[in-house]
Amino acid sequence: MQRDWQVTRNIVDSKLPAKEKALYEAKAKEEDGYVEFYEQRQDWIIEKDPETFAKTNRIWQFEYLRDRDLPRDATFLDYGCGPAAAGVYFIEYLDAGKYMGVDISRKSIDVGDALIRTRGLLAKQPRLLYTPKGDLSPLEGEQFDIIWAQSVLTHLPPEAIEKVLHRLRPHMHAGSRFYSSISRIENGIVQQQLHNWYQDLAFYEAVSPGAGLKLSVMEGWVHPYQHNLMEGATSTLLKFTPA
């Protein structure tokens, strides 16, 4: 599975926070080190402002999927759920016991648990799980009708994306659908600063079959924060299904 992907680096050192740069340099070359770097980065953001993600509009994710493919009785895995800022809308809509949220940031999970309680959603029996390095072994044997990953692959290098696809495939049955946003460019792979990643569609067409997945592009996806992407990039929603 390990490949020598050619990555264009678009990094301006002078714009990097010193603490973030030091952590990246310490971790990036280790096995799963980038994921550890990103976990710590997310924890820092949450520690600074626990409501940072809840302050921005997240309901559009839910509304997009609700209007296309979200039965109330679907088993739902929110992969990279963060502090459940979007998750609360899915929880409120889905039948009790159907929502599972996982994230590599422990601080995000803690804030998400508090948000669920504040919203009075405990009766919906949602589950939130801290998954260091993306480890899904606590979910062994569980499969989900729908898997949702918003702003996850957009922050991962190519080798980590391949691991995610292989990690999620056992949690999909023949009828499962895995939806994921990407920051799409016409050609190649680009790392912008340290935590933003862009890929062309050819990359996903290359890695999907090895994970036992088929790939298609969803229509009508509009990201309200598209303007934050680098010039020439487009937020795109992919749909993966078992091959």
β-bridge mates for residue 241, sequence order: 214
pLDDT band at 4 (very low <50, low <70, confident <90, very high): confident
Q: Across the chain, what does the average pLDDT equal?
A: 95
Please provide the size of the chain in residues: 243
Residues 6+ apart with CB under 8 A from 200: 184, 185, 186, 187, 188, 189
Closest by CA to 183, choosing from 120, 141, 232, 130, is 232
Burial category of 113 from C-beta neighbours within 10 Å (exposed 0-12, middle 13-18, buried 19 and up): middle
β-bridge pairing 196-199 and 189-192: antiparallel
Region 29-46 average pLDDT: 93
Q: What are the structure tokens assigned to 156, written together?
A: 């991962």
Q: What is the pTM of this model?
A: 0.95
Distance CA 102, CA 124 (A): 17
7-242 CATH choice from 3.40.50.150, 2.40.110.10, 3.40.50.620, 3.40.50.1820: 3.40.50.150
Quick check: 2 pLDDT over 80?
A: no
Share of the chain above pLDDT 70, in %: 99
Tracing tokens 């190519």 back to the chain, one arrives at 158
Region 57-67 average pLDDT: 95
